[in-house]
Amino acid sequence: MFLDKLALSLAIIGGLNWGAIGLFNFDLVALISGGSGTWLARTIYALVGIAAIWCITLLFRPLDHADHSQPYHG
């Protein structure tokens, strides 16, 4: 569950960064890491990519929103 939320958060951050690049030609990752070719930027890009791959698994997992440990007190 924690890993799912972490991966989804990273994928959202990456998506927002790509949106900023597309709309405003502004790369926040490159700005905070000293350029898009630095090891830090490449690490961030790789983590976002891995997170996106992990998020693909969310599409194929069954949803289980019911918490069966707590009784319902309507």
Give the count of domains, the chain: 1
The two tokens of residue 14 are 């990456």
The two tokens of residue 73 are 């007190």
**pLDDT digit string (tens) for 10-35?**
999 999 999 999 999 999 999 999 99
In a domain, 71, yes or no: no
**pLDDT digit string (tens) for 30-59?**
999 999 999 999 999 999 999 999 999 999
In a domain, 74, yes or no: no
Residue 46 belongs to domain spanning: 2-59
In a domain, 73, yes or no: no
In a domain, 29, yes or no: yes
pTM: 0.78
